[in-house]
Amino acid sequence: MSTATKLQRSAPASVVPPHADIVVIGAGFGGMYAHHRFRQLGLSVFGFEQGTDVGGTWYWNRYPGARCDVESVDYTYTFSNELLEEWTWSERFSTQPEILEYAEFVADRFDLRRDIKFETKIVSAIYDEAANLWNVRTDQGDAITCHYVVTTVGCLSVPKDPEFEGLENFKGEWVQTGAWPKEGVDWAGKNVLVVGTGSSAIQTIPEVAKTAGHLTVFQRTANYSVPAYNGPLPEHRQKEVFADYPGYLQMLKKSRGGQVFELQTDSMAAEFTPEQQQERLQQAWELGRWNIQGCFRDITLNEDANKLAADFVHAKIRETVKDPATAEKLIPRGYPLGTKRLCLDSDYYATFNRENVDLVDINEEPIVRITEGGLQTSKQEYPADLIIFAIGFDAMTGPLVNLGIEGRGGQSLKSAWHDGPECYLGIAAPGFPNLFMVNGPSSVSVLSNMILTLEHHVDWIADCISYMRDNGYDRLEAREDATHEWAAHTEMVANRTLFPKANSWYMGANVTGKPRMFMAYIGGFDNYVARFDAVAAKGFEGFDLSTSKVEENA
């Protein structure tokens, strides 16, 4: 745990005002910073959050082994020098409890809870064109009007429901990694089943295996995972970062993913000799993190370059996993490395050497149903006391289309995005004036360091609102043509890469019926920020800015 001084807990809002300049939806890291930043503009801000406290992702994902896959020194707010000095991370990759503790510390430090109502879900946000106001309602009967709605609802915050036949009759306990019970779950000595092998499962499995009686993992698609090499945060790393923090931050902001890796190159794989290629891959493996993606510049662009890395990881899996049949099942096939988010693990593959752990490939024996006592596949029944579903999220759009948002002419966001989301710069949609979506679809968000991306969006929104105020505007709406152009650009950039070849949540492929499209901007954080700067410099190009009062008087 961190060494920061414990502060007195700031009290949440007890009364919802009838009106605020800005309503912020969500109190994760984006929402918390939004409150702080918008208050600095002298505007009234009020927020709602479904959880009982701040933290967002780190509030809900309390599953065993949950930790960040971005280094703690990079996954930290950058907006306050005082905050940077007051908080020290204890591990290289922070655990969920420590990140949640940090969120609570920040909420106390900046007295953020006073304008947030917790345990409250938004049921509708409806734009009144005549009044140029949003009417927001909650499941607690609250009603509030505002000029601006800012959503900070996360990209991966709607867990997929486990729609398995018979689940309602299961006599044991079942849980979802993405909505892990706050009171905790006891698996010691029990028969546990884990369904799914994405990032959440890959962190959960080694932890649960340590004390479960027996653990069976049900895998549909084997995932690429590389070692995190977690441990205490090394002193030299802290010195490296904080000796010249402004300089370090600039370096992060000029990077593609809001992080800087030890191994980076401008050279293509073919420019290295076969010996050099293997040396670089080995070096990347020993460094851990996502260094493997920095081995060759064309690793996610060229199938041959990608295959070098994929074969290398396949060999590592065969080396690690003692049972050859299990090793073969764990070897990812059919999609390029890195095109489903690369996982970082602590002993994931080695966990399958334990006597109490088994792997079932559900392509060989599909899940038929959940029974009263366990899980039935086409071959046998697996008894269970506890089933852990780690089956992912309705990513990017799921958290937004369920807010009951209706824009101009009563059009719902859900219907506007029926054939796929179109979101100008990943922040605003035509037909929805004065609605900003932090880390919305087609933003760089999930392909970068989320803390930097959310700070960037919130700062940009604050600048935009200030500009409007200073120039007498009170309504802003993304233009159709600019939005189509951004959608075409994001698609074009994605199609240059190997990413569309995987059935990933990036592509919406993990949710039945969801339109298949790449849902993030893959052109790099540096280019993304440059585009926002250019848009702002040209008077918020691509947005229609207007004054509702002038129109009323005309």
Which CB, 381 or 552, lies closer to ligand N01?
381
Q: Is 2 a residue that touches ligand N01 (CB under 6 A)?
A: no
**With respect to ligand N01, which residue has the nearer C-beta, 296 or 393?**
393
> Residue 463 Cβ, how far from ligand N01 at the closest point, in Å?
28
Question: What six digits make up the tokens of 268?
Answer: 């293509």
Interacting span for ligand N01 (CB under 6 A) from 39-47, 95-103, 293-301, 387-395: 387-395
508 binds ligand N01 (CB under 6 A): no
The least distance separating ligand N01 from the CB of residue 310, rounded to whole angstroms, comes to: 16
Pick the piece of the chain touching ligand N01 (CB under 6 A) from 197-205, 258-266, 294-302, 435-443.
197-205
Under the binding rule (CB under 6 A), the answer on residue 396 touching ligand N01 is: no
Stretch that binds ligand N01, among 83-91, 196-204, 246-254, 312-320 (CB under 6 A): 196-204
Distance CA 30, CA 439 (A): 9
Question: Is the Cβ of residue 155 or residue 435 nearer to ligand N01 in the bound state?
Answer: 155
* Contact status: 199 vs ligand N01 (CB under 6 A): yes
Residues in a beta bridge with 327? none
Among the listed ranges 84-92, 195-203, 329-337, 399-407, the one in contact with ligand N01 (CB under 6 A) is 195-203
- Cα dihedral 530, 536, 420, 509 sign: positive
Distance CA 380, CA 383 (A): 10
Q: Which residues contact 273 (CB under 8 A, 6 or more apart)?
A: none
Which residue lies nearer to ligand N01 by CB, 13 or 179?
179
Going residue by residue from 153 to 172, which x/- string records binding to ligand N01, judged by CB under 6 A?
A: ---x----------------
Strand 225-227 with 214-219, pairing: unpaired
390 forms part of the interface with ligand N01 (CB under 6 A): yes
Q: Is 69 in the site for ligand N01 (CB under 6 A)?
A: yes
Nearer Cβ to ligand N01 (309/502): 502
How many angstroms separate the first and last alpha carbons of the chain?
61
365 is a contact residue toward ligand N01 (CB under 6 A): no
**What is the C-alpha to C-alpha distance for residues 397 and 416, in angstroms, rounded to an integer?**
12
Query: Which residue number has the CB closest to ligand N01?
Result: 198
Token duo for residue 361: 């490939």
CA distances from 100 to 57, 62, 106, 107 (A): 9, 10, 10, 11
Q: Does 330 bind ligand N01 (CB under 6 A)?
A: no
Rounded distance between C-alpha atoms, residue 345 and residue 351, angstroms = 11
Mark the segment that binds ligand N01 (CB under 6 A) among 3-11, 285-293, 386-394, 471-479: 386-394
Binding to ligand N01 in span 29-68, by CB under 6 A: 68
Alpha-carbon distance 80 to 82, whole Å? 5
Task: Give the CA angle between residues 196, 359, 62 to the nearest 5°.
Answer: 40
Which pairs from 487-493 meet CB under 8 Å and 24+ separation?
487/422, 487/423, 487/442, 489/523, 490/442, 490/518, 490/520, 490/521, 490/522, 490/523, 491/517, 491/518, 493/521, 493/522, 493/523
Buried b (16+ CB within 10 A) or exposed e, 520-529: bbbbbbbebb
Quick one: 296 or 348, whose CB is closer to ligand N01?
348
- Site mask for ligand N01 (CB under 6 A), range 436-455, x = bound: ----------x---------
CB 180, min distance to ligand N01, A? 11
Binding mask 462-481 for ligand N01 (x = CB under 6 A): --------------------
CB 427 within 8 A of CB 437: yes
Among 210, 220, 369, 501, binds ligand N01 (CB under 6 A): 220
Contact 407/432 with Cβ under 8 angstroms? yes
Which secondary structure element, helix H or strand E, spans residue 327, and what is its range? Answer: helix 324-330
Residue 73 touches ligand N01, criterion: CB under 6 A: no
452, two tokens: 């930097």
Contact range with ligand N01 by CB under 6 A, out of 190-198, 230-238, 377-385, 470-478:
190-198
Confirm or reject binding of residue 429 to ligand N01 (CB under 6 A): no
Shorter beta-carbon distance to ligand N01: residue 276 or 380 = 380
Site of interaction with ligand N01 (CB under 6 A): 68-69, 156, 177-178, 195-201, 203, 220-221, 341, 344, 362, 390-393, 446, 505, 510
